[in-house]
A and B are shown apart, each in its own frame.
Chain A
Amino acid sequence: MSILVGRDTRLCVSGITGREGTFHALNNQRYGTNVVSGVTPGKGGQSVEGVPVFDTFHEAVAETDANTAMIFVPARFAADSIIEAADAGVPTIVAITEGIPAHDELRVFTHLKRSTGVRLIGPNCPGVLSPGKANVGIIPADFFKEGNVGVVSRSGTLTYQIGNELAQAGFGNSSIVGIGGDPVPGSSFIDVLELFEADADTELMVMSGEIGGSAEEEAAEFIADNVSKPVVGYIAGFTAPPGKTMGHAGAIVSGSKGTAQAKAEALEAVGVRVGRTPTEVSEIVVEILEG
C-alpha cells in the first residue's frame, strides 16, 4: 500500500501542453503513473504523446474517469484551476505551481474544506511519490525505492536529501509527500501523518519541517494523541534570523514565534526524536527500525 497516489491513480494534468507540464507529465508516465488526460483551455482535441487534451476538467473527468489532478499552470491561473478540478469531482489534487497569492490560497483552502471532500496537496510542492507505483509531481524518483518509511516534508530538495540518506542506509519509502512551503498549504503535516498512521505499509514516519508558522507544533499535539507509529523529526532553519523570509513564502520567523528551536522542543516533548542534520535523521531511523 501507499498513500495518496498508487496503482489506482488516474491522473489528469492541468497545463499539460506547457513546456514544464509536458515534461513532467511524460516523466510521470514513464515511471508507470497512469496519465489518462490533460486540460488546457482552447487546446481540447489535441494530444500530448498520445495523452488526450480537453478544454475543461469536467470534460476530462467525464471522458477519462480521472481521479487525481496535477496542477502545472502559472500562479495567476492556478487557484482557478484547482477549484475547477474540485468542481469536476476530482478527489485528489496535487498543485505544483509556486507563487500563488496567499489570499487566493486561503479562499481555495476554505472552499475545499467547507464544500467538498477534496484533498489538496501543495501548492508550491514537489508532489507525491509512492515508489514502485506512481509518481505525481517532480520528485526525482530514481533515488527512492519501495519500503516502509513514510516521509512528509515542507521542502522539496531537503526531502530528496533525507530520502537519499535513508536509501543509502538501506531503507525505502511507502510514500513521499511534499506539502509545500506556502503560508496556507492544502494539506498539513497532521493530514498526512493521519494517512501514514492508517497505512499498513508504513512502519515509521519522517516529518521534515522548517521555520515559520505553527504547523510543526500542531503536528506535535496531534502525534501525542493519535499516532502510535514512531515519528522522526527534522527542522531546517536553526540559524535563520528573524524577520527574513528564507526562500519559501511560509519560512519566516516573526518575533519569538516559529523558530526551529521551539518546533524541535515541541516535537521532542511528545517523544519525537529530532535529528539535527539530515544524516542524523537517517541514523535515528536505522536505530529505531533495526534496534
Chain B
Amino acid sequence: MDLLEYQGKQLLARHGIPVPAGRPAESVDEAVTAADAIGYPCVVKAQVQIGGRGKLGGIKVAASRAEAQEHAGAILGMDIRGLRVHEVWVEEASEIEAEYYASIVFDRSARAPLIMLSTKGGMDIEQVAEEDPAAIASLHVDPLLGYQQFQGRRLAFEAGVDGDLVRPLTGLLEKLYAAFVGEDAMLIEVNPLIVTPERELRALDAKVTLDGDAMFRHPDNAALRNPSAEDPQEQMAKERGLTYVKLDGDIGILGNGAGLVMSTLDVVAQAGGRPANFLDAGGGSKADAIVAAVEVILSDEKVTGVLFNIFGGITRCDEVAKGLIEAFGQVQPQVPFVVRLDGTNDEEGRRLLAEAALSNLYVEATMLGAAERIVELAAATPSEAR
C-alpha cells in the first residue's frame, strides 16, 4: 500500500524523525484554516503519489492568507498525470541549506534491507545514480541483526556528509530503520532530507510503501486511505474480496490464479486484443464470487467482451458454471462471453453451461482458442451494447 506524503510523514514522526509541522485539508476553507494555524509563509502541497508534482504546479508557497486560498483552490481538484487531487497538505515553510537523500528498500534479490544515502538529494535520484553512482552510498542490513551504528557512520562518511551531521544522521537512520521494520514497510524514501540553517535534519518529503499482508498487526495503517489512487472498479472489487487491476483495454478477463491470469492477458494481447482488467477469482471460488466478479468486470463501460479462463484445481468448474449462469440471470450482459473450463469437474461445468443455453455465451476447449474467439467477438460487438 502506497501512502500519501503526509501519511508517510506522520508515520515517520511517530518514530521520532523530524518533519515540518503541517495539516491535511480536503477543502479550500480547511486549507486556509490550516495555513492560519501554521503561519506564513507556508507551503500548499498536492497529495498524490507521483514524482515531479512541483514542476506540474502541485506545490506552491503561500506568503499570505489570500495566497493560501488561491493556491488551495488551484491545486484541489487538479489533475496531475491522471491522478485527481483530493487533499492538500499545508505545512510550515522550511529554510534549506542542503538537500540529502535517504532511503531503505526491501531488496528482494539480496534478501536484505538496503539503505541508501546521498548528499545529492532533491533532484531525480535515478539520474544521480546513473551519472554519478559514487555519490550514493549504500549497504545491506542483516535482517536478524538489525541496523548497527557503524553502518550509519560508514554511510555518512562515504556519502561525504558534513562532519557535524554524522552523529545526528546516524541516529536518524536508526529511527528510519526502526520505522521500516516496525511498520512492515517495503520502501521508505526521504527526498529531500534537508539540512536547515540551524544544522538540523528534517524530512521534507516522504514516500512510504507498506506491506499489505502485514496490516493485521497495524490497524491504524490499514485504515489509511488514498482516494486519488483508487479506481472505482478496483475499490468495488476490493470490497468483494477479489484481486482486480484495471487496465486500459476493452476485453474483460477472469481467471483463477495470478500466473494463469497474467498468462491469459498475454495470450489475448497476442491474439490482437487489449485486456480491460486483471481479475483473479482465487482458489476455490464459489458461485457467489463469480457473480460478484462479473458485476465488477461489467461495471467498466469500455468492456465489449469477457473471457473466462479457468483451470480448476481447488476451484471446481461446475461451481464456476453455476456462478456464470446465476450472473447471467441477474445481470443479463449485453456483451459476448467466451468460457474455457479445464480441470476439476470440467465436464460437469460444460454440461451445465450447455443446458442453460445462454445467449451470447460461447465455450471453447483451449486457452488459445478462447482468446482468439473473444477478440473476434468483441470486435464485432455493436456499439449500442457498449
Contact = CB atoms under 8 A, between A and B. Distances in A.
Contacts of A153: 259
B256 interface: yes
Interface in B146-203: 181, 184, 186
B319 to A, nearest CB: 14
A226 interface: no
A157 to B, nearest CB: 3
A181 B261 CA distance: 13
Contacts of A139: 313
A161 interface: yes
Contact of B258 (A76, A103, A109, A155): A155
Contact of A236 (B109, B256, B259, B343): B259
A140 B260 contact: no
Interface in A229-252: 234, 236-241, 244-251
Contacts of B260: 155, 157-158, 160-161, 236
B106 A102 contact: yes
A99 B211 CA distance: 10
Given A157-B313, A158-B263, A278-B263, A101 B184 contact: yes
B337 interface: no
B111 A109 contact: yes
Contact of B266 (A110, A164, A237): A237
B342 interface: yes
Interface stretch (A29-37, A45-53, A55-63, A205-213): A205-213
A144 B200 CA distance: 65
A251 B258 contact: yes
Contact of B214 (A103, A157, A211, A279): A103
Contacts of A156: 257, 259, 283, 313
A99 B144 CA distance: 21
Contact of B262 (A101, A106, A159, A211): A211
Contacts of A213: 108-109
B272 to A, nearest CB: 12
B258 A247 contact: yes
B314 interface: yes
A246 B245 contact: yes
A102 B213 contact: yes
A278 B256 CA distance: 16
A107 interface: yes
Contacts of B211: 101-103, 249
B259 A208 contact: yes
B111 A106 contact: yes
B213 A99 contact: yes
A262 interface: no
Interface in A107-144: 107, 109-111, 114, 126, 138-140, 143
Contacts of B126: 255
A157 B256 contact: yes
Contact of B108 (A183, A240, A244): A183
Contact of B109 (A214, A238, A247): A214
B108 A103 contact: no
Interface in B242-299: 243, 245, 247, 255-263, 265-270, 275, 278, 280, 283
Given A213-B108, A239-B269, A155 B259 contact: yes
A164 B368 CA distance: 14
A213 B143 CA distance: 19
A161 B106 CA distance: 32
Given A138-B314, A140-B313, A237-B266, A160 B213 contact: no
Nearest to B255: A157
Given A140-B344, A183-B108, A247 B280 contact: yes
Interface in B93-136: 106, 108-109, 111-112, 126
Given A184-B111, A277-B267, A249 B213 contact: yes
A100 interface: yes
Interface string B212-247: 111011000000000000000000000000010101
Nearest to A76: B216
A126 B313 contact: yes
A218 B109 contact: yes
A101 B181 CA distance: 11
Contacts of A158: 257, 259-260, 262-263
Interface in A255-286: 255, 260, 276-279
A140 B184 contact: no
Contacts of B280: 247
B308 interface: no
Contacts of A10: none
B311 A157 contact: yes
B41 to A, nearest CB: 34
Interface in B348-384: 366-368
Contacts of A26: none
Contacts of B283: 138, 156
A246 B216 contact: no
B312 interface: yes
A227 interface: no
Which of B143, B216, B255 is the most central at the interface, judged by chain A CB atoms within 10 Å of its CB? B143
Contacts of B255: 157
A31 B269 CA distance: 38
Interface of B: 106, 108-109, 111-112, 126, 142-144, 181, 184, 186, 211-214, 216-217, 243, 245, 247, 255-263, 265-270, 275, 278, 280, 283, 311-314, 342-344, 366-368
24 contacts: A101-B211, A101-B213, A106-B143, A114-B144, A156-B283, A158-B257, A161-B367, A210-B259, A214-B109, A218-B109, A236-B259, A236-B263, A237-B266, A239-B247, A239-B268, A239-B275, A240-B262, A244-B278, A247-B245, A247-B278, A250-B108, A255-B126, A260-B266, A279-B368
Top 9 A-B pairs ranked by shortest CB distance? Answer: A155-B259, A247-B258, A157-B257, A158-B259, A101-B214, A157-B260, A236-B262, A236-B263, A140-B313
